[in-house]
Copies of this chain bind each other. A is one copy, B any other.
């Protein structure tokens, strides 16, 4: 049973909500709004949509998340990677007219919202686990690089086609000479200012004696500051006319339209696969952020509830003229640092953005694309992270390979191909890894009841008996290998009477492995060798009891490996008791 308070976490926190909480939330919401206004427009541009769509996506979806979300501090809205994936999906589906692109974005929202909501109701949050950390991290790094270079055209004032990294770079190189110098100057200056603001502004303000929220407020205003300075310059000097600097132009200054988007079956079918991928990526990004922030304050989030909340946010985005949204990393951290106490901070942010959209959009007429592109570039480059790729590669080649594959395919082909390759390769490499499990022939450590690898330790064994410790769950991917390996181990052992499989690390035996065990038993029986199992775990044993496996087994199942030896090879046991106790250096 799902409790009502699980579905509406607001019912829990609202009871203890006090004045102090409200003051904190209010302050945080102002800081996030200042950050979100330019970002919303910039990310909408990245998604290939009119800037106002980004604003719409930052109003009602935030309120939907505030109602359903289980995280206290997650800030939902348009984010860079999802924006680019939206652009790619719409581009690949072949829509070039603005109206079609807006319709396609709404279709993506609705499908993505429904999908997330259904996953949440089915408690399928585990699907997000198919993405390993190295794959996510190299996906985000590659996407960030792709995004940064894709924005160079706005900085340089060039018109180039959407494509993979190589085509973007070659087009940039070809057209470099045609750059609009004024635009490039504005763009370049913005990039430099924003980069400096990221790290240089806070120490400066503190040196000036400012403190706390004031510092935070001013530091976060840097993008907004760039926006206002640039639009003052452009409007006063008429650069949009005289020097052809591209600006946003007229924005509709109305509240989001509330309407069911037009349903076009062909379009929805075309966009469905992209909607699914966008949902999963969005969910993974969001839940990772929510989880790390929650753990900092010892709060808990519920992944299935997060699915439903993001589903509701996207459905709302689809019904109010937005485009796919999710929890963003940077803005959630800002919200958290600014002291947000509850999802009310998000709801208040939504109200402030609503007011901005209604009243202040005419202000942005002269805002140059180049400045928005600069905010995107500076934002995404902070996501670039090669260190975790290097760590993965050093720690475990398989993870490094999956990450590398993702990275190369995102840059070479596209975000969707990259992420699919990442998921499939992680799964295949995991299965490959477990398909050749470590197995060790073990013997008794003298003077103890412990068993260790005969190749690494001085242990007591018997010619009549071989114990094989299997260091992996037995399932279809390694059942055949098990058969081969045991054949190999016992080949040429003429005095052998007993084979014991020590199952202390076998967490599962699936149907394929069960058949293989039966085959192994039959073959051993044909040579008058008995097959025994030892240290079989409870859950595995429960399952085995449901079958006739134990009736066919010509040996026994022993509780502990020592019991097995005691009964099957008393000599061995005696020798072990008389031997010296030499604890091995390390468990193998």
Contacts and interface: CB of A to CB of B under 8 A. Distances in A.
B126 A295 contact: no
Contacts of A416: none
Given A295-B487, A476-B132, A546-B395, A504 B505 contact: yes
A182 B290 CA distance: 74
Interface stretch (A142-150, A184-192, A351-359, A435-443): A435-443
Nearest to A586: B538
A365 interface: no
Nearest to A426: B476
Interface string A381-403: 00000000001101110110000
A475 interface: yes
A432 B481 CA distance: 22
Contact of A437 (B399, B436, B507, B547): B507
Contacts of A510: 132, 396, 398-399, 430
Nearest to A432: B126
Given A295-B519, A298-B527, A538-B588, A511 B133 contact: yes
A418 B427 CA distance: 20
Given A395-B547, A483-B291, A537-B588, A435 B126 contact: yes
Contact of A479 (B133, B300, B303): B133
A493 interface: no
Interface string A127-144: 011111111000000000
A538 B456 CA distance: 10
Contacts of A128: 480
Given A133-B512, A438-B539, A476-B129, A507 B291 contact: no
Contacts of A512: 132-134, 399
Contacts of A395: 511, 514, 543, 546-547
A285 interface: no
A473 B392 CA distance: 17
A541 interface: yes
A477 interface: yes
Interface string A466-486: 000001110111111101100
B129 A478 contact: yes
Given A511-B392, A512-B133, A587 B536 contact: yes
Nearest to A490: B298
Nearest to A437: B507
A523 interface: yes
A432 B527 CA distance: 39
A540 to B, nearest CB: 9
Given A395-B546, A511-B396, A481 B129 contact: yes
Given A292-B519, A587-B538, A132 B511 contact: yes
A472 B536 contact: no
Contacts of A538: 453, 456, 586-588
25 contacts: A126-B432, A126-B436, A126-B477, A128-B480, A129-B476, A129-B477, A130-B431, A132-B476, A295-B483, A295-B519, A303-B484, A391-B511, A394-B546, A394-B547, A395-B511, A398-B510, A399-B511, A399-B512, A433-B508, A434-B473, A437-B507, A438-B507, A438-B539, A456-B538, A535-B587
A-B residue pairs, 9 tightest by C-beta: A132-B476, A538-B588, A133-B512, A399-B511, A392-B511, A132-B512, A129-B477, A505-B505, A471-B507
Given A291-B483, A395-B543, 8 more contacts: A126-B477, A129-B476, A295-B483, A300-B484, A300-B487, A395-B511, A430-B477, A538-B586
